[in-house]
Amino acid sequence: MNLKSLLAKPFAQYIHKQIRRNSSNALSDQDAILKQLLKVGKGTVFGKDHLLEAVHSHEELRQAVPIRDYELLKPYINQVKEGKENVLWKGKPIYFAKTSGTTSGVKYIPITKDSIPNHINTARNALLCYMAETGNSAFAGGKMIFLSGSPELERVGGIPTGRLSGIVNHHIPSYLRTNQLPSYETNCIEDWETKLDKIVAETIHKDMSLISGIPPWMQMYFDRLIEKSGKKVGELFPNFSVMVQGGVNFEPYRAKLFESIGRKVDSIELFPASEGFFAFQDSQEAEGLLLNTNSGIFFEFIPAGEIFSENPTRLSLKDVKVGQNYALIINSNAGLWGYNIGDTVKFLSTEPYRLVVTGRIKHFISAFGEHVIGEEVEAALLKAATATGASIVEFTVAPMIAQGEGKSYHEWFIEFEKEPDDMGAFIEQTDNNLREKNVYYDDLIKGNILQRLQITKIRKNGFIDYMRSIGKLGGQNKVPRLSNDRILADGLSSFIHQ
């Protein structure tokens, strides 16, 4: 064990105890954060527009600050881009995190001096909790790869701007720089496939101990390593012991990733976004992600069924219940107020507050009143795949509305790594699983409004080729699990398995 691994152990124990203490003080910490946000926020343009001077409680916040998405926040963002200070938060942001929105085009999310520790420290804390719990610190002495966006930054309104993962790359501690791969020059390559080839060339002969990224892009990295070396990833990197992942639900990718590795490695799940680092896996034993309750964000929760209501119920952390789906709303020291991040979550426990991400608010199917969400389709498919021995690479679901004769149905576009022996049985099981998960879908099937789902097979690498065709291959881009229209479905028509 090298010096870095030895020194990491006591620090990990210290941070682990601190996080345990914070998790038991979650409600009081949230109250303190709200007070601090209001103290600073009342002096901003936003604060004066919303009379934050008179706001002293969550109840008053709900009355003063409406729920917003990026489009409604944009007039304030534009003022910041014009060079104005004290618009959403004191001074100016130190960065803009640039991300693509489904309706807003490019989004510019402010990161302030006060909010940057939330982005930097949370991934570190997840790794330190893992070290403290498992005793495994040896990976700290090996090479670590972070499959991320380019760290090159442009300036928008005089503010350094880039992908969140690229911004965070600038804040990796110097003592880890010698462990970090790929090189800065390779990380700056914009074209994902060119970048991937360079990453493989730089890492294939190294002692990789930790690999991090979004699951579908980690899988592409693993596939390329296997293709180049003829070896499983775990054989190629004998000291590879920790996989850090986030951005999408891990479960649909788990089996294929571990098959590519060829053995078990520990995995750590994260819940980051440009708007904040919301939760992280703090334990290998407990299910779910620990909510980041003491990191500059005051959380609100709207019952998922009310998110499009004119006056939705807005709960603080003390009022949430286990097992219910909520839209996640944040107020933060980045200057985001009543901000709807677009994700839904479900709490698994409240002592401490652990949750799972269940889907995207805009990614659902309710073309027939069924309101099927991502968590339901992923669970239905995974259960059927496990029962039938099938292996899934990627999938998405869209409604097919009947024109003329015949019934409407859900069309599932699936790229199989291994097809089920009996496709009819697989379809039946997947459909039955979804009916068990969603009573509205079950009613539509029972009432002969919908027919059983149908599967359209996508050819090998079809989803990759589709993402390439629309200029969204690699980086932080993800295939939506669900659509309420046929735009994605029609785009996949050129990539169907013949």
**pLDDT tens across 309-358, in order?**
889 999 999 999 999 999 999 999 999 999 999 889 999 999 999 999 88
Give the pLDDT of residue 102: 46
Tell me the pLDDT band of 11, cut-offs 50, 70 and 90.
confident
Mean pLDDT, range 133-143, rounded to an integer? 88
Give the pLDDT of residue 190: 81
Query: Can you list the positions of beta strands (E) in 294-424?
Result: 297-303, 325-332, 339-350, 353-360, 364-365, 372-373, 391-400, 409-418
Give the pLDDT of residue 475: 63
Backbone angles phi, psi at 231, to 5 degrees: -120, 155
**Largest Cα–Cα distance in the chain?**
72
Mean pLDDT, range 471-490, rounded to an integer? 83
Give the pLDDT of residue 228: 95
pLDDT in tens, 380-397: 999 999 999 999 999 999
Give the pLDDT of residue 350: 96
Burial 449-459 (b: 16+ CB within 10 A, else e): ebbebebbebe
Highest mean pLDDT among 50-64, 91-105, 247-261, 396-410: 50-64
The structural domains of the chain, ordered by start, are: 1-361 (3.40.50), 364-495 (3.30.300)
Statement: residue 103 has pLDDT above 60: no
Q: Which of helix, strand or coil describes residue 1?
A: coil
Range in 150-159, 248-257, 264-273, 462-471 the model is least confident about = 248-257
**pTM (two decimals):** 0.82
- Within 8 A by CB and 6+ apart from 454, the residues are 400, 409, 410, 411, 412, 427
Statement: residue 176 has pLDDT above 70: no
Statement: residue 191 has pLDDT above 90: no
Determine the Cα–Cα distance for residues 50 and 64; give it in Å rounded to an integer: 6
Q: Are 277 and 119 in contact (CB under 8 A)?
A: yes
- Within 8 A by CB and 6+ apart from 424, the residues are none
Give the pLDDT of residue 35: 98
Q: Put residue 300 in one of left, alpha, beta given phi > 0 → left and psi -120 to 50 → alpha.
A: beta
Give the pLDDT of residue 2: 60
Tell how strand 159-162 and strand 242-246 pair up.
unpaired
- Within 8 A by CB and 6+ apart from 114, the residues are 89, 296, 333, 334
Determine the Cα–Cα distance for residues 250 and 241; give it in Å rounded to an integer: 17
Task: Return the percent helix, strand and coil in the chain, to nearest 5.
Answer: 40, 25, 35
Mean pLDDT for the chain overall? 90
Determine the Cα–Cα distance for residues 47 and 438; give it in Å rounded to an integer: 42
